Amino acid sequence: MHLVVLEGEDRLRKISYEVIGAALALGEDVAAVAVGKDAGKLAAEASQLGVSQVLTVDGPEVTSYAPRAWVRAVQAAVTATGATLVLLGATSQGKEVAARLAGRLKAGLAADVTAISKDDGGWVYRRPVYAGKAFAEVRLTSPVGIATLRPNAFSAAKPAASAASIEALAVSFEPGDTDGHSTGYEVGAGGQVELTEAEIIVSGGRGLKGPENFHLIEELAKELGAAVGASRAVVDAGWRPHAEQVGQTGKTVSPALYIACGISGAVQHMAGMSSSKLIVAINKDPEAPIFQAADYGVVGDASEVLPAMTEAVRQLRA
C-alpha cells in the first residue's frame, strides 16, 4: 500500500494530482490522507482520482497548519493503512512534513524526486544533485520509505470511473503538537500563477537594468498565462519579492517552458530551473552560461526583445 499526503485549501493543489498520479503508476493500491479544516473537501476531490481509500483528520489541533500535529496525523494514517511508501509534494509544507515524519519513523527519505522505477532490488528514486548537473539514483532500505516529488515532474491523476470510500481517522494528539502553528496567510498579487506549479515561467534578472522594467516580464507572462520568476540578484536588490526567486536558495521549478530574460545563468539559479522541459534564454552577452542550458537562445537586450515577443504572442492569440 502507498500513502499520498494531500495538500490544498478549499480544493486540491495541482501537485496533489501529480503525486496521486505517480503513486497509481507504481501499480499498487493507493490511499490518501487529508489533514486540516478543509480535509473533507480535499478528500471528496481525491476520492474521484483512482485511489482505494481516503482518510481525513480534522479538529482544533489542525485548524491551522501545525507541523507536529500534521506529522502526528500522517503517522497515524501510515499505521492505519500499513503503507510502506509515503509520497508528498516537494513543496514547503511537503518537505517539512516529510523530514519530520522520517525522523519519527526512522525512515529513509528521497527528496525532490523526478522519476521512480523498480528493479530486482526494489524502488529506485531519481533526483538531481550538484545543482542539477547530475542525477543520483536512491534506494531506501527502511521498512517504510518516504519521498517528496518535484512539481511538474509526474503526470497528474485523471478522474476514475468510481469513487473511493472516505473515512475519518481518529488521532491522539499530544501536548506540544500545536506549539508552532500558522497564524495567518498573506495573499500575493491577485490572479498570479503559483510559481512551483506553473506550466510556463518568465523570469527576469539584472539584465533588465532596473525594477521599473520588470513590467516587460509581467506583460509577457500575462499574455502566456505564466508565472513571474526572478534571479537571486534581483531579489537581493529588492526589485522583486523572495516568493518569486528561482534557484538554490529560492524555489525549484520544472515548467514546460522557462524563459530566462537578462539572467546570466549562475550555478545557483540553474539548480532551480535546469529540469525545465524547454528553456529559452534572452541575454545580450553571447558567452552567458545560461545559453549552455538553453534549447533556444536570443542574443539581444531583454528590454528590446521582450516587447517584440509580447506583441508576437498577442498576434498569435488574436
Q: How confident is the model at residue 190 (pLDDT cuts 50, 70, 90)?
A: very low
Q: Which domains does the chain have, with CATH numbers?
A: 2-168 (3.40.50.620), 195-317 (3.40.50.1220)
Reply yes or no on whether the pLDDT at 66 is more than 80.
yes
Reply yes or no on whether the pLDDT at 318 is more than 90.
no
Look at 130 and 242; give whichever has higher pLDDT: 242
Please tell me the predicted confidence (pLDDT) of residue 191.
Answer: 46
Percent of the chain surpassing pLDDT 90: 78
Residue 263 phi/psi, 5-degree rounding, is: -110, 125
Please tell me the predicted confidence (pLDDT) of residue 158.
Answer: 94
Cβ contact 290:263 at 8 Å: yes
Q: Which of 51-55, 121-125, 198-202 has the lowest mean pLDDT?
A: 121-125
Is residue 115 helix, strand or coil? strand
Cβ neighbourhood burial of 42 (10 Å; 0-12, 13-18, 19+): buried
Mean pLDDT of 77-95: 95
Q: Which of 38-42, 130-134, 182-186 has the lowest mean pLDDT?
A: 182-186
List beta partners, residue 57: 35
DSSP run (H or E) holding 154: none
Q: Which of 15-19, 93-97, 109-113, 187-191 has the lowest mean pLDDT?
A: 187-191
Write down the pTM of the prediction: 0.84
pLDDT, tens digit, 9 for 90 and up, residues 229-266: 999 999 999 999 999 999 988 898 999 999 999 999 99
Q: Distance between CA atoms of 253 and 265, rounded to whole angstroms?
A: 15
Mean pLDDT of 141-153: 94
* DSSP letter, residue 133: T
* Average pLDDT of every residue of the chain: 92
Q: Distance between CA atoms of 230 and 269, rounded to whole angstroms?
A: 9
Work out whether the CA dihedral 225, 231, 234, 237 comes out positive or negative: positive
Mean pLDDT of 216-239: 95
Q: How confident is the model at residue 58 (pLDDT cuts 50, 70, 90)?
A: very high
Mean pLDDT of 108-120: 93
Please tell me the predicted confidence (pLDDT) of residue 188.
Answer: 55
> Strands 257-261 and 134-138: what pairing?
unpaired
Q: Distance between CA atoms of 69 and 71, rounded to whole angstroms?
A: 5
C-alpha cell at 291: 545559453
Q: Distance between CA atoms of 87 and 147, rounded to whole angstroms?
A: 5
Cβ neighbourhood burial of 130 (10 Å; 0-12, 13-18, 19+): exposed
Mean pLDDT of 154-182: 88
Q: How confident is the model at residue 186 (pLDDT cuts 50, 70, 90)?
A: low
Q: Looking at the chain, list the stretches that DSSP marks H as alpha helix, in order from N- to C-terminal side.
A: 14-25, 39-46, 67-81, 92-105, 215-224, 232-236, 267-273, 290-293, 302-317
Please tell me the predicted confidence (pLDDT) of residue 185.
Answer: 60
